[in-house]
Chain A
Amino acid sequence: MARVLLRVPTSAEKGAVIEMRALIQHVMETGYRPNAEGVVQPRDIIWKFTCRYDGEVVFNATLSPAIAANPFIAFTTIATQSGLITFTWEGDNGFAQTETRHITVT
């Protein structure tokens, strides 16, 4: 399991714009870099990030080898109702991680 730093508001007013920040530990190996022995290291990146709010996709991103290690993604959405916010990262070598946070909307 990769370490994750998430900043998600625990509560918000209905209709408010909320900012979410997601930072995940990942090498994002490009697939173009030779190692110390001169052998090109195979690609190992996260290629997809998805955020679902109560099951509905509110943000997604396709990541490329040009993105730095430990990708940080910040985005906003509108607080509609209380529920679960799910963050999913998918990548090479079967990398898959999901984190969930609850938000209370009043």
Chain B
Amino acid sequence: MKRILFALLACCSVAGAEERRSGLLDMRPEAQAMQRDDSMNPGMLWVLEGEALWGRKPTTAGQSCADCHGDAPGSMRGVAARYPAFDAARGTAIDLAGRIIQCREARQAGTPLARESQELLALTSFVAHQSRGLPITPPEDAGMRATREVGQRLYMTRMGQIDLSCAQCHDDHAGRRLAGSIIPQGHPTGYPIYRLEWQAMGSLQRRLRGCITGVRAEPFAYGSAEFIAIEAYLMERARGMVLETPAIRP
């Protein structure tokens, strides 16, 4: 009996290691349907907003996104699947939202966009939406490899009064329940997401803040090196999985 149990356990752990699943599949069918049908997906409202902003000059002096990048479906295809990327000029990794903020400041002569502002979320959603259906392909350069190592270390580090690491829930106990909710594997396949709990669009960093405050640790600042490192590690962990932006999550 013991031997059978042991064999079963071994099977389960192997399957668990191989089978990565998007949080989409952990949702109830109604929420999945909401994501799959663009006419029901509220995230598409932000994508539409982003599309309008793409063609608009933020100030009379500056250029619009479209003036440099042209049509987003061509120029932005696959971009979100490669971020965070290494910014050689600054010598650090930068996330997609950070890149949009940088563009706005440096090339568009516009007022800087605040993290989690509606405008930034709309533009990020619109850009990320152009990569929907494409596999996540993090860049292989040395800078990003170093960033990912930092991210992996943070992912494994116990934090806060509850003293839990990301890995303890999302690697060791994924698929089980925390209170009534299924613990997802934590793959960032659909960001920015429309989270039903927020009733709004939000970034991966906002989602990470939710978990970090949940274990009663002090969250990192938006756009901080720590958040970008975790994001880079999570993208590597989800390499090859398909982007879903704008995703719905509970």
Interface residues of A (CB under 8 A from B): 3-7, 21, 23-25, 27-28, 68-70, 72
Contacts and interface: CB of A to CB of B under 8 A. Distances in A.
A7 B40 CA distance: 9
B199 A23 contact: no
B45 A70 contact: yes
Interface of B: 38-40, 42, 44-46, 48-49, 196, 199-200
B48 A68 contact: no
Contacts of A5: 38-39, 44-45, 48
A25 B199 contact: no
- Pick the 7 closest A-B CB pairs, nearest first: A69-B199, A7-B39, A70-B42, A25-B45, A3-B45, A3-B48, A21-B39
Nearest to B200: A69
A101 to B, nearest CB: 13
B49 A3 contact: yes
B200 A23 contact: no
Which residue among A25, A28, A68 has the maximum number of chain B CB atoms within 10 Å of its CB?
Answer: A25
Contacts of A4: 45
Given A23-B45, A25-B45, A69-B200, 18 more contacts: A3-B45, A3-B46, A3-B48, A5-B38, A7-B39, A21-B39, A23-B39, A23-B40, A25-B49, A27-B199, A28-B199, A68-B196, A68-B199, A69-B42, A70-B42, A70-B45, A70-B199, A72-B40
Interface centre among A3, A6, A28, A72 (most CB of B within 10 A): A3
A29 B178 CA distance: 29
